[in-house]
């Protein structure tokens, strides 16, 4: 066992027993970054001095017999979509390459309250638009299981940092699967909470009605601890839910006996690779053998989820990215000679091709004569999907599916073919449309490449979802092969 690939809850117990110091833990993670970052490129900025200072302060508290929380002093990375005061927040875009945030996001404010140690900000697809981290303006992140494969996206840097031991945990964001899919590709746990459970304040907006921050961790227990820290009402976020605080670790260890696990009748499982199907079926058998009951449920409009998402998300992106105009902040064209050229050239020079594609798609769908035909119709289908999931959860505790139709793929495989990339989100997108929580848990390996199991829960059912995910994790007890790095 090495310190950098040991879950936070175990390390916390070790340091409380005096077996290890927070400084030793942090030095192990920073050493791992030094050894691997040149090959992985998980980070866009690093803050080692901050991490070491927080570690020393935590060790001083421990020496003085003061109470220390489980995340206190622990080296954690944050996706570069979250504003951190005084730090660069690029969102993977050349447009914001030199933008230093004057304020702190809701998520990182809560992590500060929990005492976390920021080790760095991670690479991502530009403005969260992508599933491979190939759309980052600063170059792609590599998958630590196979350097020729993508780490997934858009939270690919976060996933790679946790899987490789460059951070003990990370915070990503999930608009259509951007926490869960890279978690699957990297054999870590990725949780998308209920929409509104975690503050979106200071998280750079892609699609405001779908975006949600979530933890990416080495195991389910750490995901629960991280959610404990970041969940809660934020008056600065108009979509934040004012609900009582919960302890998401409360259901851990309850097992799977008597739980009902749904499988969707309309799920297009045949679109997945044979290895993914095989691992998924084995995971279902394990759930059943561990005491769960498998129940078929129906989501009649599931087939329309991807099309619905790729109308709603680009429409909201078109609106949200209007602020990048070359006037207020970010990149401004040096060659512009009038106001129109400032707008046009600044955006043309500094926004990537995928971002331009989605903004154009959204602008078209919102234009006169097309709003009713596309955007309004998509909202109606979204409401149908939401109500159909609600009906399904009246019958089951969770719904299971693969996370992605494939394991991690080669760099360049989907470049130039956006439709192929969009269709690969077919299993993750419905949770965002319905606003429900979803988790990716390591489910097995196709050769040396990880494959995850997705579990979805009803609105605000994270405690139950984490309990069942933990039961599955314990039953599987996955033995992982060695990383490529």
Half-sphere exposure of 110 (CA within 13 A, CB side): 24
How many whole angstroms separate alpha carbon 147 and alpha carbon 145?
A: 7
Half-sphere exposure of 377 (CA within 13 A, CB side): 14
Residue pair 218/437 in contact by the 8 Å Cβ criterion: no
45 is catalytic: no
- Neighbouring residues of 167: CB distance < 8 A, sequence distance ≥ 6: 29, 75, 76, 77, 119, 120, 122, 158, 161
Q: Which of 54, 79, 121, 149 is the catalytic position?
A: 79
How many whole angstroms separate alpha carbon 381 and alpha carbon 445?
A: 35
CA distances 346 to 88, 97, 134, Å, are: 20, 13, 22
154 is catalytic: yes
How many whole angstroms separate alpha carbon 457 and alpha carbon 287?
A: 16
Q: Which of 42, 173, 178, 207 is the catalytic position?
A: 178
Q: Which of 21, 136, 154, 161 is the catalytic position?
A: 154
How many residues make up the chain in this entry?
485
How many whole angstroms separate alpha carbon 56 and alpha carbon 36?
A: 24
Catalytic residues: 79, 154, 178
């Amino acid at each position: 066992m090495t310190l950098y690939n040991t879950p936070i809850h175990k390390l916390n117990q070790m340091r409380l027993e005096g077996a290890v110091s927070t400084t030793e833990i942090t030095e192990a993670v920073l050493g791992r970054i030094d050894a691997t970052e040149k090959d992985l490129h998980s980070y866009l900025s690093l803050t080692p001095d901050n991490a070491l200072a927080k570690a020393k302060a935590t060790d001083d508290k421990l020496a003085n017999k003061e109470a220390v929380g489980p995340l206190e002093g622990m080296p954690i990375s944050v996706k570069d979509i979250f504003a951190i005061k005084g730090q660069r927040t690029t969102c993977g875009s050349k447009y914001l390459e030199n933008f230093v945030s004057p304020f702190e996001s809701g998520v990182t404010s809560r992590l500060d309250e929990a005492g976390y140690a920021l080790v760095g900000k991670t690479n991502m697809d530009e403005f969260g638009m992508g599933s491979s981290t190939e759309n980052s303006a600063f170059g792609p992140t590599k998958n630590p299981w196979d350097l020729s494969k993508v780490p997934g996206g858009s939270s690919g840097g976060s996933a790679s940092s946790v899987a490789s031991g460059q951070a003990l945990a990370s915070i990503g964001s999930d608009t259509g699967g951007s926490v869960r899919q890279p978690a699957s590709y990297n054999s870590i746990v990725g949780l998308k909470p209920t929409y509104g459970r975690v503050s979106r304040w200071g998280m750079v907006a892609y699609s405001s009605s779908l975006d949600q921050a979530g933890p990416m961790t080495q195991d389910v227990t750490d995901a629960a601890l991280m959610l404990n820290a970041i969940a809660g009402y934020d008056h600065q976020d108009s979509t934040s839910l004012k609900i009582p605080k919960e302890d998401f670790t409360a259901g851990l260890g309850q097992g799977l006996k008597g739980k009902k696990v749904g499988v969707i009748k309309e799920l297009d499982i045949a679109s997945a690779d044979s290895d993914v199907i095989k691992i998924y079926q084995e995971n279902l058998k394990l759930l059943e053998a561990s005491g769960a009951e498998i129940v078929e449920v129906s989501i009649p409009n599931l087939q329309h989820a991807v099309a619905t998402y790729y109308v709603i998300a680009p429409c909201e992106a078109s609106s949200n990215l209007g602020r990048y105009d070359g006037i207020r902040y970010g990149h401004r064209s040096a060659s512009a000679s009038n106001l129109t050229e400032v707008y046009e050239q600044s955006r043309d020079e500094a926004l990537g091709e995928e971002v331009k594609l989605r903004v154009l798609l959204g602008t078209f769908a919102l234009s006169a004569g097309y709003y009713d035909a596309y955007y309004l119709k998509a909202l109606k289908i979204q409401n149908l999907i939401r109500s159909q999931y609600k009906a399904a959860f009246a019958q089951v505790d969770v719904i299971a599916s693969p996370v992605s139709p494939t394991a991690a793929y080669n760099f360049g495989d989907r470049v130039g073919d956006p439709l192929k990339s969009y269709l690969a989100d077919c299993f993750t997108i419905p949770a965002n449309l319905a606003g429900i929580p979803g988790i990716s848990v390591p489910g097995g390996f196709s050769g040396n490449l990880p494959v995850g199991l997705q579990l979805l829960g009803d609105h605000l059912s994270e405690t139950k979802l984490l309990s069942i995910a933990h039961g599955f994790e314990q039953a599987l007890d996955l033995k992982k092969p060695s990383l490529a790095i």
